[in-house]
Structure 1
Amino acid sequence: MARPPHAREKVLLAYAQLLVEGERAATMDAVATRAGVSKGGVLYHFPSKDALAEALLGRFAEVSAADVKAMQDDPDGPVRNFIRTSWETDADLDPVYRAVMRLAHAGHEGALGMLESLHDDWLRELETETGDAALAKTVMLLGDGLYHQASMPGRWSQQQFSDLDELLAQVDRLLGR
């Protein structure tokens, strides 16, 4: 009897969550427990940790492509989209991004390559809009700082940086708008 399709997704989500908590914590037994399935259920979908990592990278490719497409399609432009979404830590990209970052920190070459590719894609979109490589890098660093602050525990960041309109107005001034 085939397992319900959602079991695979639960296992993949559990793996990503455990990676964020620490790469060594993401054992097959821990993934099974977190997903609420048997270890056999995990192995049915992912016969090894390498298979789990590859599936996570596949998911990362999907959400990354959607993120870049959203930048391209945003009527306010890639720069404003990037700044606005850098503050979001509950978007589809975030948990997968953090999990892939953990894999990269652990030395997974595929994860590192995919992160670098996404960063290149973001920078290319920012540079296309700004027409200036240094300005595009500045915007990217602003977004990275926002993401870092949004990821911090506590309320300080939310209190200090809750008004994105003010920040976007500063970015518009940087862009000469």
Structure 2
Amino acid sequence: MPSAPPASAPAPSARDRVLDAFESILISQGERAATLEATATEAGVSKGGLLYHFGSKDALVEGLLARLVELVEVDVERIRTAVTGPIDYFLRSSLNLESDLDRAIIATTRLAQGSHPRARDALKEMQVSWFDVIVEVVGDRALARTIMLIGDGLYYNSALLPGGLGELDPKSDDMDEVIALVNTLVAAHARA
């Protein structure tokens, strides 16, 4: 069941509760379990209430994909404007921190594993958005691809191998060392 928001935060709308529930079921049980009935029950709304916001399961999928797009747009802007620098922000945020963005990515991945080509497209568009901003920063596609692959490795280790050798805390000395090494690579490439 979704956790209650902090006392100071406004209660999520019924529409958001439905999307949260759909996302949660996708993550924990997979697409087959994410029926309209199960989603309505998880969200604490009637099936009619769910259908008021999302007229079909396809509409619910589109709502989740729209949420992912919005979260990625916010993340790309955060990468561009990060006080600590775009590479630092990108790598630290490449860990699965169970953020709203992480949850949307995992839920969309579950859909992409099934019969939803639009989900696969949304994940590709997400990667292109991140790639484009990293290219802007480092000025080289191969170097940007390398940084992206490091980010993918960080995410894989934190999402799929928790407690494994490669898992890092975003504020750890180990993460600082990884970022310093990448920054050294970027600086060396700029001098070349």
* TM-based fold match above 0.5: yes
**Cα distance in 2 between the residues matched to 1:97 and 1:154:** 17
**8 Å contact from structure 1 (residues 71, 82) kept in 2:** yes
2:86 pairs, out of 66, 72, 78, with 78
**Cα distance in 1 between the residues matched to 2:12 and 2:182:** 44
1:143-162 correspondence runs (5 A): 143-152=151-160, 154-156=162-164, 160-162=167-169
What do you get for the CA RMSD once the two structures are aligned? 1.9
Instruction: Summarize the Cα distance change of 1:167–1:5 in structure 2 as closer, same or farther, 3 Å threshold.
Output: closer
**8 Å contact from structure 2 (residues 95, 155) kept in 1:** yes
Find out whether 1:93 has 2:101 as its counterpart. Answer: yes
**8 Å contact from structure 2 (residues 76, 130) kept in 1:** yes
Q: CA deviation at 1:40?
A: 2.1
**Runs of 5+ consecutive residues of structure 2 not aligned to the other structure:** 1-10
The AA in structure 2 aligned to 1:19 is L
Identify the structure with the greater helix proportion: 1
Find out whether 1:141 has 2:141 as its counterpart. Answer: no
The AA in structure 1 aligned to 2:57 is K
2:70 pairs, out of 59, 62, 68, with 62
Q: CA deviation at 1:26?
A: 0.5
1:156-171 correspondence runs (5 A): 156=164, 160-162=167-169, 163=172, 164-171=175-182
**Runs of 5+ consecutive residues of structure 1 not aligned to the other structure:** none
Q: CA deviation at 1:11?
A: 0.8
Percent identity, aligned pairs only, is 42
1:1-12 correspondence runs (5 A): 6-12=13-19
Matched with 2:6 is: none
The AA in structure 1 aligned to 2:55 is P
**Cα distance in 2 between the residues matched to 1:146 and 1:128:** 22
- Give 4+ residue runs of structure 1 displaced > 4 Å after superposition: none
Instruction: Summarize the Cα distance change of 1:109–1:154 in structure 2 as closer, same or farther, 3 Å threshold.
Output: closer
**8 Å contact from structure 1 (residues 77, 129) kept in 2:** no
Matched with 1:17 is: 24
Instruction: Summarize the Cα distance change of 1:65–1:45 in structure 2 as closer, same or farther, 3 Å threshold.
Output: same
